[in-house]
């Protein structure tokens, strides 16, 4: 039996070293996170550190659970498509997906007499246009895109960097060279990140100032004209009676209604996790497929010679937990889109939906299963995040061998 030599920290004068591997993968992760995140507009009074902490929270989510970011992106993409169809039904052909994304990100601020200004999403704009309360906002897609700080060069660089990591892994495996767990982790991260980038391609990025819509009618007039539909007190804005029904029974957990700077009503910004309407069966299936592929890639390190047998077992268990949770547990959101599905459960412990029939099984069965899956998922993630770093203390020697790219060139005899 061949004995595989192992080494610790390796410098890189004659080949790739430990620092090279760390730098290239961290660069790919950082650039992907930086370019893929498309936050909603900040509130006017939000300071630098408020915005910074918010971005850090979402960056952490992007790295630890990138498939969840894909879920939000695909729901917002669906909402934008629905908005375009609705507005075109009113004859507003100039309304595009970019307008809808901009609206749902809090890009339009409604100012009425004697009431604080508040953001209105695409559903509210359609309602107000249909009621002849406002005209379609006079802002073109080019105007919106000019406000966006999307860096196409950075996005292109991110895709090139991600493609290079994937190419390296394929080439190393074809030449029977060992691939590090960090490289596998990065490659797995790239899959949902590419999907997220696709669904957010039309969403403006890092817009600072909203478009203000000023009207001369009052909120009281609007609610009075709406009648019984607007009889309940609002939770976020006076247009809840328009925006909330499309959530199809989903609601933000009450304990989180004021979390993350949401302590003012009406809301002064639309939170990043507001993604009406909920996913359709097709969208949930897309996210499920992306999640399964993402989790399955971690299994590639099944035979990696970790420093200890315990670490190898922990990686195998963790990768299987990720795959099982995504393959089996990920079907729950898909099933939840079916009309017959009537069970209580939550998404990320942020969004909850109660069963219509209040039986014990309907209230707790899927809720317990999904919550338990989340706990197992988090534990498995933590193990993998720790192992991709500590494994560098004792790596197989061929981890630091360079790929012989010339061997892929066609030879002419």
Lay out the sheet containing 211-214: strands in order across: 115-119, 108-112, 211-214
Residues 242/138, Cβ–Cβ less than 8 Å: no
Query: Is pLDDT above 80 for 304?
Result: yes
Q: Which DSSP letter does residue 15 get?
A: S
Query: How are beta strands 108-112 and 115-119 bridged, if at all?
Result: antiparallel
User: Pick from 217, 219, 244, 218: which is nearest to 229 by CA?
Assistant: 244
Query: Is pLDDT above 70 for 188?
Result: yes
User: CA dist 303 to 5, 311, 377, Å?
Assistant: 16, 12, 21
Question: Which pLDDT belongs to residue 51?
Answer: 84
Residue whose token pair is 């004859």: 91
20 occurs within a structural domain = yes
What is the arithmetic mean of pLDDT over 27-45? 85
SS3 91: coil
For the chain, how many structural domains are there in total? Answer: 1
What is the arithmetic mean of pLDDT over 348-372? 78
Question: Which pLDDT belongs to residue 212?
Answer: 92
What is the arithmetic mean of pLDDT over 107-112? 93
Average pLDDT over the chain, rounded to an integer: 84
Question: Which pLDDT belongs to residue 14?
Answer: 65
Query: Is pLDDT above 60 for 412?
Result: no
What percentage of residues in the chain have a pLDDT greater than 70? Answer: 93
What is the arithmetic mean of pLDDT over 86-100? 91
DSSP-assigned beta bridge partners for residue 174? none
129 occurs within a structural domain = yes
Question: Which pLDDT belongs to residue 130?
Answer: 93
* Full domain range(s) for residue 241: 13-400
Tell me which of 25-34, 141-150, 194-203 is least confident. 141-150
SS3 395: strand
Residue whose token pair is 């980038």: 197
Question: Which pLDDT belongs to residue 216?
Answer: 92
Question: Which pLDDT belongs to residue 119?
Answer: 94
Query: Is pLDDT above 80 for 345?
Result: no
Chain-centre distance of CA 347, in angstroms?
Answer: 13
94 occurs within a structural domain = yes
Question: Which pLDDT belongs to residue 144?
Answer: 84
What is the arithmetic mean of pLDDT over 197-210? 87
208 token code pair: 């600072």
Question: Which pLDDT belongs to residue 8?
Answer: 72
Confidence of residue 316 (pLDDT cuts 50, 70, 90): very high
User: Pick from 111, 115, 137, 139: which is nearest to 125 by CA?
Assistant: 137
Residues 179/400, Cβ–Cβ less than 8 Å: no
Question: Which pLDDT belongs to residue 149?
Answer: 67
Of 15 and 61, which is predicted with more confidence?
A: 61
Question: What pLDDT, in 10s, does the model give residues 122-155?
Answer: 999 999 999 999 988 888 888 888 777 666 676 7
What is the arithmetic mean of pLDDT over 54-67? 86
Q: Which DSSP letter does residue 178 get?
A: -
Q: Tell me the HSE value of 273 on the side-chain side, using a 13 A CA sphere.
A: 23
Query: Is pLDDT above 60 for 278?
Result: yes
What is the arithmetic mean of pLDDT over 224-245? 90
Tell me which of 12-16, 72-76, 169-173, 224-228 is least confident. 12-16
Query: Is pLDDT above 80 for 396?
Result: yes
Question: Which pLDDT belongs to residue 2?
Answer: 46
Question: Which pLDDT belongs to residue 1?
Answer: 39
């Amino acid at each position: 039996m061949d004995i595989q030599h192992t080494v610790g920290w390796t410098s890189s004068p004659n080949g790739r070293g430990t620092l090279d591997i760390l730098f290239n993968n961290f660069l790919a992760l950082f650039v992907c996170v930086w370019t893929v995140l498309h936050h909603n507009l900040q509130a006017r009074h939000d300071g630098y550190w408020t915005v910074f902490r918010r971005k850090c929270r979402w960056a952490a989510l992007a790295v630890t659970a990138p498939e969840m970011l894909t879920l939000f992106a695909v729901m917002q993409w669906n909402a934008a498509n629905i908005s375009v169809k609705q507005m075109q039904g009113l004859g507003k052909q100039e309304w595009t997906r970019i307008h809808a994304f901009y609206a749902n990100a809090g890009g339009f601020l409604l100012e009425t007499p004697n009431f604080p200004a508040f953001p209105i999403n695409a559903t509210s704009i359609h309602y107000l246009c249909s009621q002849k309360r406002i005209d379609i906002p006079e802002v073109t897609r080019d105007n919106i895109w000019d406000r966006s700080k999307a860096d196409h060069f950075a996005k292109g660089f991110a895709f090139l960097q991600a493609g290079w990591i994937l190419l390296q892994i394929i080439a190393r495996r074809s030449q029977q060279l060992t691939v590090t767990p960090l490289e596998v982790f990065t490659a797995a991260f790239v899959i949902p990140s590419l999907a997220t980038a696709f669904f957010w391609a039309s969403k403006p990025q890092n817009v600072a100032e909203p478009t203000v819509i000023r009207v001369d009618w009052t909120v009281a007039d609007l609610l009075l004209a709406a009648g019984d539909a607007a009889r309940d007190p609002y939770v976020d804005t006076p247009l809840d009676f328009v925006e909330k029904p499309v959530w199809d029974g989903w609601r933000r957990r009450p304990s989180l209604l004021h979390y993350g700077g949401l302590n003012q009503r009406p809301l002064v910004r639309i939170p990043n996790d507001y993604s009406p309407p909920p996913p359709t069966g097709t969208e949930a299936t897309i996210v499920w497929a992306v999640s399964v592929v993402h989790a399955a890639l971690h299994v590639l390190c099944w035979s990696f010679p970790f420093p200890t047998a315990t670490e190898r077992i922990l990686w195998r268990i963790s990768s299987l937990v990720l795959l099982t949770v995504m393959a089996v547990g990920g079907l729950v959101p898909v099933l939840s889109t079916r009309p017959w599905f009537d069970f209580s459960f939550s998404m990320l412990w942020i969004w909850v939906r109660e069963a219509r029939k209040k039986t014990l099984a309907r209230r707790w069965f899927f809720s317990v299963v999904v919550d338990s899956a989340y706990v197992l998922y988090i534990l498995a993630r933590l193990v993998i995040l720790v192992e991709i770093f500590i494994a560098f203390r004792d790596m197989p020697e061929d981890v630091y061998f360079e790929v012989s790219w010339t061997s892929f060139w066609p030879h002419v005899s």
